[in-house]
DNA sequence: ACCGTCACG
DNA sequence: GACGTACGTGACGGTA
């Protein structure tokens, strides 16, 4: 009897979390089922554990019956401010019951009680009977129940929650947790607690005094201050909160414990449920698990998906610590011609990372980890036995460069840079993050953990669980070999499994071209750009920092004087209070957090009304921004080894196919104001060299003219006219500063997906006037209207848009019933083909640039940066005249021969000693 | 961790 | 009839 183990699934809280964590899938009937799918796979995994040592013998799902419980009688504000669940989650609640029934599991709910109380009652009863209990939830209230024999399982993060976890998180054990929760309150459930008491203070008080009552009793003797005052004033709220967080553990059990026994799950109802929703991969799994004969009906509709493999088995992975073993793996990889590769390092920045180990995978669960830079976990222990670094790299190098062996990586640009710095070239390669992006951009992220959950129903070992977090966090080189092997080899194993799934989908879903011809070729190009970095003048940045600091201090004093009191100018909350309450200026609340908007529009409005302090705050903000984000931060980013700044480009960051840039972001260096431009002047060339900047002129408008086939626009571009002037003439009948500025705004509005209100706000006209301009635009430029309508119709039908080169961006919200969600998706869908085509073109130019320069005998021209429509080079002064026409030609012809554009692509080039001067 | 803000195309 | 309005990013400081 002692071996009985009851699993209690907190169904309601699971689907809320699943809804927010998982991608918004829809089933074959178009109903949203993301959370239900997550729930189904979770139940499956739990039920699968039936025969495992620590698996469930009994299981039940507990749901909340309704929104009200006895706690509402105690406190009418309980859970009062909770917003209604999202619209596309609501229909999933009843489906949860269907799913539970499909597994033939008991589904328990009781009027007047919350799921937590029923769970507590079952848990106590089971413990009394000598059973073990696992509660499938990560709800902090339920953590109060933890005691020997009872733990929580967080399936979303695949982690057990025990007393140690509670102590780590809340500072007290499960027995005191209720007191801590009572003192701190819970904003989600609207449990008040004591104002000003958060988790830290609550834990400290409870540790010191024992429980809530003792804390309240001790309050009058505490040192005078806000805390003492609040404890005394809100003592009753504290007592009430303590009661509200207490779980009721004596609810009469609707079903006896024995009725929860978990047996074999009958297949027919489960199959019917899965097929109803079109969960094909799960249906396939059902067939495999049950070894049922596969009928034509269940076998037929299979797209190029891949059947189930053995689940990831950490114990199957091998730690390779001898040269003989390494040679065997290299030989087998060479013979097979395809191997998944992953590197482990001690930093996320590939330009600072030291190589710690390499993992390889050849088949599911056939994976190894080759440690080469591990040390003992602490000062006392020796480094583990491992192959000498140089010897290991020497053995791996031929494999990594072998033209007959395909190396598969997930975000392999990182590994390519790290390995290149270690002296190894990686070619040829495939990258599963780029495959996922080509296939599913817009549907979900493309990180390994997220994709493993989606495609493998597998939770990867969390990096945090391997290296820890906070103060005690280790470098990966300090992780012990067994854990390191589990983690690292799993990454390679998972990458191998991704490749097997994605590769056949590329051609089936018509994205091979974008993957093979646009994105993948860019990886080595970006790797080289990142490794090159760009020189910045540290002294110049330091001078600017000092200059800005002085101006900031002056403005701060003036602002405080005008406000009549010192305050934190950088706090929107404080600033809003000062401006709109203390100084009594006009302005309205905005945003759900209830703070006044103090953004640039609002402050400009005030400044125009002659409010001096508003202008000064704007100036302060600009300088503070420039100092903290640029002049201070960039100095920190100078790599000590190279003396240059190395950004990292993301290929999958922007849904449209644009690159992103981070650590540091070099795609948002100031240029629009004179002060900001000084920062660009600090990006300089080496002596004897210059910076060359080449940018596409109006590329998105040109592409819009081509894609929407607008004769007037195409002709104007062909003649080389100023397009904003033309628009001004067509819309307003005359060209002057004002009409040109308005025309420019309208041209952008078209690219971004227009709304009369949006345009009205920008132009400061009424929505009716804005609508009149839009109508006139459509009339003067026929084609635009049709393009927008066709793009939307197509997106609604297939769920994605396509660029001229075949890049897809998915819009799962394009048919949303919530208006503003749908409209947001529509605007993005109008813009995506244009922005995306522009991104495709410059990517193609980048891939062709180095061979073209080499062919022109210009090997010393180095491409350093890409800023969406601009490429930045560093080159010997003497090469400028020869390089400029090559660069211009490559960029202007980058769409060809794949796409013949009906507008020319203009390229503007400038050079100078700095990036600022090159513009 | 989230928000508000603001730098860029 | 109200909602909050342009598309795509990343980084910072303040706050909970």
In Å, what is the separation between the CA of A198 and the C1' of C16?
9
Q: Determine the pLDDT at residue A103.
A: 86
For residue A214, give both structure tokens. 């003792």
Nucleotides of B under 7 A from a protein CB: 3-9
Contact between A333 and A402 (Cβ < 8 Å): no
Percent of chain A with pLDDT over 90: 60
Q: Determine the pLDDT at residue A440.
A: 95
In Å, what is the separation between the CA of A664 and the C1' of B7?
12
Distance of CA A46 to the CA centre of its chain: 28
Q: Is the pLDDT of residue A255 over 70?
A: yes
| Residue A268, burial from CB neighbour count under 10 angstroms (0-12, 13-18, 19+) | exposed
Q: A653-709+786-919 domain in CATH 3.30.70.370?
A: yes
Which residue gives the smallest C-alpha to C1' distance to B2?
A593
Residue spans of the domains in chain A: they are 5-259, 266-299, 314-533, 535-644, 653-709+786-919, 721-782
pLDDT band, very low/low/confident/very high, at A594 (cuts 50, 70, 90): confident
- Tell me which fold the domain A314-533 belongs to: Nucleotidyltransferase; domain 5 (3.30.420)
Q: Determine the pLDDT at residue A294.
A: 31
Q: How far apart are CA A755 and CA A150, in angstroms?
A: 56
Placement of tokens 């005030």 in the chain = A606
For residue A288, give both structure tokens. 């495999």
pLDDT band, very low/low/confident/very high, at A589 (cuts 50, 70, 90): low
For residue A106, give both structure tokens. 């008991």
Q: Is the pLDDT of residue A296 over 50?
A: no
Q: Determine the pLDDT at residue A796.
A: 93
Which residue gives the smallest C-alpha to C1' distance to C14?
A571
In Å, what is the separation between the CA of A179 and the C1' of C16?
20
User: What is the number of other CB atoms lying within 10 angstroms of the CB of residue A77?
Assistant: 11
Identify nearest nucleotide to residue A198 by CA to C1′ distance. C16
pLDDT digits (tens, 9 = 90+) for A726-736: 999 999 999 99
pLDDT digits (tens, 9 = 90+) for A31-51: 788 888 888 988 888 887 766
* A5-259 CATH: 3.40.50.1010
In this structure, of A238-242, A371-375, A847-851, A900-904, the range with the lowest mean pLDDT score is A238-242
In Å, what is the separation between the CA of A434 and the C1' of C8?
19
In Å, what is the separation between the CA of A372 and the C1' of C10?
34
Q: Determine the pLDDT at residue A50.
A: 65
Identify nearest nucleotide to residue A756 by CA to C1′ distance. C5
Identify nearest nucleotide to residue A656 by CA to C1′ distance. C8
Residues having Cβ less than 7 A from any atom in strand B: A 572, 576, 591-593, 595, 597-600, 602-603, 618, 621-622, 625-626, 629, 667-673, 676, 835, 867-870
For residue A39, give both structure tokens. 């729930």
Q: A535-644: which CATH architecture?
A: Up-down Bundle (1.20)
Q: Determine the pLDDT at residue A584.
A: 81
In Å, what is the separation between the CA of A675 and the C1' of B7?
13
Sign of CA dihedral A599, A602, A605, A607: negative
Instruction: Give one DSSP letter per residue of A43-112, joined into a string.
Output: HHHHHHGGGSTTS-SEEEEE---SS-BHHHHH-TTTTTTPPPPPTTTTTHHHHHHHHHHHTT--EE--TB
Identify nearest nucleotide to residue A869 by CA to C1′ distance. B9
In Å, what is the separation between the CA of A630 and the C1' of C14?
19
């Amino acid at each position: 009897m002692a071996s009985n183990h009851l699993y209690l699934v907190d169904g309601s809280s699971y689907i809320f979390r699943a809804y927010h964590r998982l991608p918004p899938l829809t089933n074959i009937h178009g109903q949203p089922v993301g959370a239900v799918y997550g729930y189904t796979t979770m139940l499956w995994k739990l039920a699968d554990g039936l025969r495992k040592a620590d698996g469930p013998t009994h299981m039940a799902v507990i749901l909340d019956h309704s929104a009200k419980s006895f706690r509402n009688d105690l406190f009418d504000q309980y859970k009062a401010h909770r917003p209604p669940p999202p619209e596309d989650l609501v229909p999933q609640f009843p489906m949860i019951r269907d799913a539970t029934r499909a597994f033939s599991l008991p589904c328990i709910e009781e009027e007047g009680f919350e799921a937590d109380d029923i769970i507590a009652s079952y848990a106590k009863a089971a413990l009394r009977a000598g059973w073990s209990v696992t509660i499938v939830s990560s709800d902090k209230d339920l953590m109060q129940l933890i005691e020997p024999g009872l733990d929580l399982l967080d399936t979303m993060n695949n982690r057990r929650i025990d007393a140690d976890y509670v102590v780590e998180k809340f500072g007290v054990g499960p027995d005191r947790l209720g007191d801590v929760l009572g003192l701190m309150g819970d904003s989600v459930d609207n449990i008040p607690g004591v104002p000003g008491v958060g988790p830290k203070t609550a834990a400290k008080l409870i540790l010191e005094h024992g429980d809530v009552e003792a804390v309240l009793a001790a309050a009058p003797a505490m040192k005078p201050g806000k805390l003492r005052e609040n404890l005394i004033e809100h003592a009753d709220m504290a007592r009430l909160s303590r009661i509200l967080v207490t779980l009721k553990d004596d609810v009469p059990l609707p079903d006896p414990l024995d009725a929860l026994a978990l047996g074999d799950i009958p297949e027919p109802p489960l199959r019917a449920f899965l097929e109803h929703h079109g969960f094909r991969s799960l249906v396939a799994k059902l067939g495999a698990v049950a070894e049922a004969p596969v009928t034509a009906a269940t076998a037929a509709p299979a797209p190029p998906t891949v059947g189930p493999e053995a689940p990831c088995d950490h114990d199957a992975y091998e730690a390779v610590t001898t040269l003989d073993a390494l040679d065997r793996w290299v030989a087998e990889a060479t013979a097979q011609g395809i191997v998944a590769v992953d590197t482990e390092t001690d930093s996320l920045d590939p330009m600072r990372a030291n190589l710690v180990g390499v993992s390889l995978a050849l088949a599911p669960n056939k994976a190894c980890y080759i440690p080469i830079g591990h040390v003992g976990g602490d000062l006392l222990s020796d480094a583990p036995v491992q192959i000498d670094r140089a010897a290991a790299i020497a053995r791996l190098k031929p494999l990594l460069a072998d033209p007959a062996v395909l190396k598969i990586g997930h975000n392999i640009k990182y590994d390519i840079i790290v390995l290149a710095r270690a002296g190894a070239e990686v070619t040829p390669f495939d990258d599963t993050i780029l495959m996922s992006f080509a296939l599913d951009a817009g549907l979900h992220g493309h990180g390994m953990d997220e994709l493993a959950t989606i495609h493998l129903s597998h939770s990867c070992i969390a990096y945090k669980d391997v290296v820890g977090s906070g103060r005690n966090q280790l470098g990966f080189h300090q992780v012990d070999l067994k854990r390191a092997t589990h983690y690292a080899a799993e990454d390679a194993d998972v990458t191998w499994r991704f490749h097997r799934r994605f590769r056949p989908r590329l051609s089936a879903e018509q994205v091979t071209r974008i993957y093979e011809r646009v994105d993948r070729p860019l990886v080595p190009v970006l790797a080289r750009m990142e490794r090159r970095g760009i020189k910045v003048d540290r002294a110049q940045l330091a001078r600017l920092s000092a200059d800005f600091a002085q101006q900031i201090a002056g403005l701060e004093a003036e602002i405080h004087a005008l406000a009549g009191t010192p305050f934190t100018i950088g706090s929107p909350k404080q600033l809003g209070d000062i401006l709109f309450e203390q100084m009594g200026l006009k302005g309205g609340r905005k945003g759900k957090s209830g703070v006044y908007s103090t953004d640039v529009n609002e402050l400009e409005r005030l400044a125009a009304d002659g409010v001096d302090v508003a202008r000064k705050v704007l100036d302060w903000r600009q300088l503070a921004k420039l100092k903290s984000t640029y002049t201070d931060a960039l100095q920190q980013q100078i790599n000590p080894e190279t003396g240059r700044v190395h950004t990292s480009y993301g290929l999958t960051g922007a849904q449209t196919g644009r690159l992103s840039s981070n650590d540091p972001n070099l795609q948002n260096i100031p240029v629009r104001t004179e002060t900001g431009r000084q920062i660009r002047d600090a990006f300089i060339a080496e002596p004897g060299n210059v910076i060359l900047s080449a940018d596409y002129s109006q590329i998105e408008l040109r592409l819009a003219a081509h894609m929407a086939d607008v004769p007037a626009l195409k002709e104007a571009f062909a003649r080389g006219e100023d397009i904003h002037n033309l628009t001004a003439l067509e819309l307003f009948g005359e060209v002057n500063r004002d009409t040109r500025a308005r025309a420019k705004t309208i041209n952008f509005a078209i690219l971004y997906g227009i709304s009369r209100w949006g345009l009205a706000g920008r132009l400061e006209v009424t929505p009716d006037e804005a609508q009149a301009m839009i109508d006139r635009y459509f009339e003067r430029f026929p084609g635009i209207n049709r393009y927008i309508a066709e793009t939307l119709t197509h997106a609604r039908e297939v769920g994605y848009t396509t660029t001229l080169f075949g890049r897809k961006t998915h819009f799962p919200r394009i048919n949303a019933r919530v208006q503003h969600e749908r409209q947001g998706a529509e605007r993005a869908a109008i813009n995506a083909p244009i922005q995306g085509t522009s991104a495709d073109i410059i990517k193609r130019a980048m891939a062709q640039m180095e061979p073209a320069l080499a062919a022109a005998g210009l090997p010393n021209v180095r491409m350093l940066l890409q800023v969406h429509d601009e490429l930045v080079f560093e080159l010997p002064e003497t090469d400028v005249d020869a390089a400029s026409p090559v660069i211009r030609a490559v960029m202007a012809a980058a769409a060809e021969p794949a796409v013949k554009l009906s507008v020319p692509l203009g390229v503007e080039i400038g050079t100078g000693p700095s990036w600022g001067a090159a513009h």
